[in-house]
Structure 1
Amino acid sequence: MDKKTPRRTRREESLSKERIIEAAIDILDRSGESGLTFRALSDMLATGPGAIYWHIDNKDDLLTAACDAIVARTVQAGASGAAPRDAIRALALDLFDAMEAHPWAGAALIRAGGQLPVVRVLECLGRQVQALGVPPQAQWLTVSALLHFILGVGGQNAANMQRVCGDDVARGDLLDQVAAAWSRLSPADYPFARSMAGQLRIHDDRADFLAGVDLILNGIGVIAAQA
Structure 2
Amino acid sequence: MATKARRAPRRTDALSREVIVEAATQILDTGGEEALTLRALTVRLSTGYGALYHHVANKDDLLAAAADAVIARAMTDVTAEGEPRETLRAIALSLFDAINAHPWLGAQLSRGPWRPALLEIYESVGEQLEALGVPEYALFDSAGALVNYILGVAGQNAANARAAKDVDRTASLAAVAVQWAQLDPARYPRLHKAAARLREHDDRRQFLAGVDLFLAGIETVRRRLPEK
Q: Which TM-score tier does this pair reach, normalised by the shorter chain?
A: 0.7 to 0.9
Structure 2 counterpart of 1:172, which letter? Answer: T
What do the CA deviations read for 1:63-113 (whole angstroms, capped 9, x no partner)?
Answer: 121011010011112113111111101010111111112222222223333
Q: 1:174–1:111: structure 2 CA closer, same or farther, 3 Å change rule?
A: farther
Match of 1:53 in 2: 53
TM-score normalised by L of structure 1: 0.86
CA distance in structure 2 between the partners assigned to 1:196 and 1:23 by the alignment = 43
Higher mean C-alpha displacement, 140-149 vs 33-42: 33-42
Matched, 1:171 2:169: yes
Percent sequence identity over aligned pairs: 49
Deviation at 1:186, TM superposition (A): 5.3
Which range is displaced more, 123-132 or 214-223? 214-223
- 1:55-70 residue pairs with structure 2 within 5 A? 55-70=55-70
1:195 aligns with 2:193: yes
Deviations 1:15-61 (CA, angstroms, capped at 9, x unpaired): 21111101011111222222211111111111112321232222222
Per-residue deviation, 1:164: 2.1
The counterpart of 1:221, out of the listed 214, 219, 222, is: 219
The equivalent residue for 1:84 is 84
Judge conservation of contact 1:175–1:200 (CA < 8 Å) in 2. Answer: yes
SS at the partner of 1:15? Answer: coil
Residue in structure 2 matched with residue 151 of structure 1 by the alignment = 151
Q: TM-score, normalised by structure 2?
A: 0.86
Q: What is the total number of aligned residue pairs between the two structures?
A: 214
1:109 aligns with 2:106: no
Q: Distance in 1 between matches of 2:58 and 2:109?
A: 17
Range with bigger deviation, 57-66 or 85-94: 57-66
Name 1:127's counterpart in structure 2. 127
* Alignment counterpart, residue 212 of structure 1, candidates 199, 210, 213: 210
| RMSD of aligned Cα (Å) | 2.0
Q: Quick one: structure 1 residues 218 and 40, their matched pair in 2 at CA, closer, same or farther if it must change by over 3 Å?
A: same
Shift of 1:150: 0.4
**Secondary structure of the residue that 2:164 maps to in structure 1?**
helix
Compared CA separation, residues 112 and 198, structure 1 to 2 (3 A) = farther
Deviation at 1:146, TM superposition (A): 0.7
